[in-house]
Amino acid sequence: MRENLEYAFVWTLVKLMGALPRGAARAVGATIGAIAYAALGRLRSVGLRNLELAYPEKTAAERDSILRALYRNLGWLLAEFCQMPSYTRENTRDFIRYEGLENYLAAKDRGKGVLIVTGHLGAWELSSFYHSLMGHPMSMVIRRLDNAKVDRLVNTIRCLHGNRVLHKDDFARGLIGAMRSGETVGILMDTNMTPPQGVFVPFFGHMACTAAGMARVALRTGASVLPGFMIWEESEQKYVLRFGESIALVESGDDEQDMIENTARFTAAIESYVRQYPEQWLWVHRRWKTRPEGEPSLYNKRA
């Protein structure tokens, strides 16, 4: 019963916000974000604690301002997701553009597959969707949603233009196969992990347990690895799908150390983008939850 009610709510929200003019949908999304900021005290506490860890030099007011802007960004992302079924190459020209597409195409031309280092920054749902809309379908490594019906609905929208979903609970074989076929796979690798799937690397000056699968696959297949994010550029009033240059892999022959060092390089790339656009990263996730053995938690009970 609950699953059906959740599905009906999500389906109705997608239909209603998708039917609005885009500007109106974004305004509604921003309002939802503001309400969520005020109502969800536990997540707000997590966000403020993360910002304290990442930016100890900032004032409490500055950190609060970043978090409020994040909720506005999340509301906009909700609106864009609901609008995505109606997007075409023509009607997105005024508010989305590429930057660094040549970096992606050069990596693709190598023929060994492309791994996109990305995260919960900017409009992450819109990024892979737009890339497929422009003729570059890709696979995405994503956790299954708890509600199976909602999961199918969301993935149907994600995959309207040829994208594929690789679920986190069964992706390793598919990922290696995709690289050997010269395909592209995007991985959100900015979430907390636990050993042995995760290794500890620096993130904003604190050791963060981070998925190591991308580094293992890249070293095994020779795939290109490059950062890719869709960022909202306030000055342009546009989203920019930005691809950075390929990240050079460390290949010393020590497989375990190389895996850790390359995971650190990928994480450093994510951090560099977050530092440029802090108001667009998902601070409400407990990124530093898993601690190295013997270290105390960085979060209090409320967070």
Q: What share of the chain in percent tops pLDDT 90?
A: 92
Q: Is the pLDDT of residue 171 over 90?
A: no
Measured CA to CA in angstroms, residue 58 lies from 63, 74, 209, 284 at distances of 7, 22, 25, 18
Q: pLDDT value at position 302?
A: 58
pLDDT tens, residue by residue, 39-48: 999 999 999 9
Q: Is the pLDDT of residue 139 over 70?
A: yes
Mean pLDDT of 163-172: 80
Q: Is the pLDDT of residue 170 over 70?
A: no
pLDDT tens, residue by residue, 209-222: 999 999 999 999 99
Q: pLDDT value at position 262?
A: 98
Q: pLDDT value at position 303?
A: 52
Number of other CB atoms surrounding residue 23 within 10 Å: 9
Burial class (CB in 10 A: 0-12, 13-18, 19+), 53: middle
pLDDT band at 108 (very low <50, low <70, confident <90, very high): very high
| Higher local confidence (pLDDT), 262 or 170 | 262
Q: pTM for the full model? A: 0.95
Of 76, 92, 83, the residue nearest 21 (C-alpha) = 83
Q: pLDDT value at position 173?
A: 75
Mean pLDDT of 185-197: 95
Q: Is the pLDDT of residue 120 over 70?
A: yes
pLDDT tens, residue by residue, 13-39: 999 999 999 999 999 999 999 999 999
The vertex-104 CA angle with 100 and 106, nearest 5°, equals: 110
Task: Of 58-72, 96-110, 158-172, 195-209, give the lowest mean pLDDT range.
Answer: 158-172
Mean pLDDT, all residues of the chain = 95
Q: What share of the chain in percent tops pLDDT 70?
A: 98
pLDDT tens, residue by residue, 272-303: 999 999 999 999 999 999 999 999 999 986 55
Q: Is the pLDDT of residue 247 over 80?
A: yes
